[in-house]
Chains A and B, each alone.
Chain A
């Protein structure tokens, strides 16, 4: 074999040959973009920790365990908002998940062609409504309706000693844990439904056809082929929805009632971390009050962080 047949034409004139200046600039730009996020995250954690440190130091474990939150006597126990955040978010997820699956499966599998597009667009539009609008609707429409048609009748008719009576005890003004969860559910529902729909559409047509071709019914196809096919994506979307519910501020602040004690029933007013911060930050004059709110911020950050890690673990297990 002659040497000349192997020799390549010179390529040194290329701007982006590896090792060239252009390539190096490109690579370092990408690198700095990636490191920037890390730096930002570290910065947030550090400043939240420093800001909240006085509160952690003063109250120790009681910051998490005590539910006495009293700016006047400068005692801060955050169990109320923390529990409120977790309950409302999980309740919202519990309410929204089956509905979102139902909507998206209907759109993909059963919906007549003429209806599919309008409904899909409507769901996407709903997903884009700003949260403050949901909050106002919750305050002006949902809360009075709920108080009048559900809370009052239940209060009047259930003995306050019964188990169910205890579940629904509370001031009948419609501002409570359950209505907050409802609003959150309504907010994350369209988001989850529209992403679920997109996920279901990624299942190859031949795979669906093969399942139907074996004589499976639509329910069997959805349950054992379509959902497993996009399981990882579904878990990711559920966790993002949960994350959205955890951090949602405006809508919840409007309707949760904003009391810091531990909620005793579903119909009791309460607070979440985000609503507490939003309500009190402007009025936090004492150092300890700001420190406590900053510490709350760090706790919320950690909760969302844990949710993301949980999602990673769940997704990783399937692969």
Chain B
């Protein structure tokens, strides 16, 4: 086992979570393994309803991995597994046999309260936009309509409306409104990324997970996307991974700082950016990171 090589000695942590009654999604004490390689260590992440929660931290610290647990994409790969709990509105969504026996092995005394619905419904409720743009090999319109058609029985006109609204919100409408029938693969990298945001928005998830959605966007589109997110949080909860600290400071309500697979500091964004408690967060925020 490579368990300990990533462990941070002198683990100085500071966690100030929001009040538990407002949590929409919550990860509790998660360990995560890519095969035998452990990449998350006892990570907890509370996601408050109708708020934006940002995840920051150096490359490779496990931000994407954490998001991949939250909507259970990791479960596509039999070698990867998580130990811990993820609660959607208080109900467990990581509750297969394996997880249960691993929780017992770890010594957790838990009463599971599983969410009674299948994995595709969970994923529809917890939308995800990936770090790299992933348009499907179909038209721009069909890309956005894809998830809607999977989960809802809507008429042609209703879908037209949803597609247009989602593209507006993702700040892409003006660029593609005349070529909705063109292939999604024909767009530029940044446009593809906004297409994926639109695709995620169209199914109206309760929680939206965004993995560096602005990494390929120009400043104008980034600003539009941020506006969209600020507006969207009226309807849903958002978790956003970003390398752009100003962005995290501008739009998020809570921020988690991760380092080598550990959640080092989690508190309200104002507090984290004004007075980081831990030395590592302080170093990272001031750019003195080694």
Contacts and interface: CB of A to CB of B under 8 A. Distances in A.
A215 B120 contact: yes
A213 B138 contact: no
Contact of A206 (B121, B134, B137): B134
Nearest to B118: A217
Interface size class of A (residues with CB under 8 A): 20 to 34
Contacts of A228: 136-138
A207 B137 CA distance: 9
A213 B127 contact: yes
B34 to A, nearest CB: 13
B136 A207 contact: yes
A224 B138 contact: yes
B134 A113 contact: no
A212 interface: yes
B2 interface: no
B124 interface: yes
A215 B146 CA distance: 10
B206 to A, nearest CB: 12
A271 to B, nearest CB: 43
B134 A214 contact: no
Given A215-B121, A220-B150, A225-B137, A209 B76 contact: yes
B136 A210 contact: yes
Interface in A184-230: 204, 206-217, 220, 224-225, 228-229
Contacts of A9: none
Residue from A214, A216, A228 whose CB has the most chain B CB atoms within 10 Å:
A214
Interface in B190-204: 196, 199-200, 203
A209 B137 contact: no
Nearest to B200: A214
Contacts, number: 67
B132 interface: yes
A210 B134 contact: yes
B76 A208 contact: yes
Given A113-B79, A224-B146, A212 B123 contact: yes
Interface in B121-161: 121-124, 127-128, 130, 132, 134, 136-138, 146-147, 150-151
A204 B137 CA distance: 12
Interface in B64-86: 71, 73, 76, 78-79
Nearest to A207: B134
A207 B136 CA distance: 7
Interface residues of B, number: 26
A192 B61 CA distance: 42
Contacts of A113: 78-79
B68 to A, nearest CB: 8
Contacts of A225: 136-137
A208 B73 CA distance: 10
A316 interface: no
Contacts of B130: 206, 209-210, 213
A214 B123 contact: yes
Counting chain A CB atoms within 10 Å of each CB, the highest count among B120, B132, B200 belongs to: B120
Contacts of A204: 134
B78 A112 contact: yes
Nearest to A220: B150
Interface string B92-123: 00000000000000000000000000001111
| Residue from A211, A212, A213, A229 having most chain B Cβ neighbours under 10 A | A213
B73 A214 contact: no
Contacts of A216: 120, 146-147, 150
Contacts of A211: 136, 146
Contacts of B146: 211, 214, 216, 224
4 A-B pairs with the lowest CB-CB distances in the bound complex, closest first: A215-B124, A210-B134, A214-B147, A215-B123
Given A228-B136, A231-B137, 11 more contacts: A112-B78, A113-B78, A204-B134, A206-B132, A207-B134, A209-B130, A213-B128, A213-B130, A214-B146, A216-B150, A224-B136
14 contacts: A113-B79, A210-B196, A211-B146, A213-B71, A213-B123, A213-B127, A214-B146, A214-B147, A215-B120, A215-B122, A215-B203, A216-B120, A216-B146, A220-B150
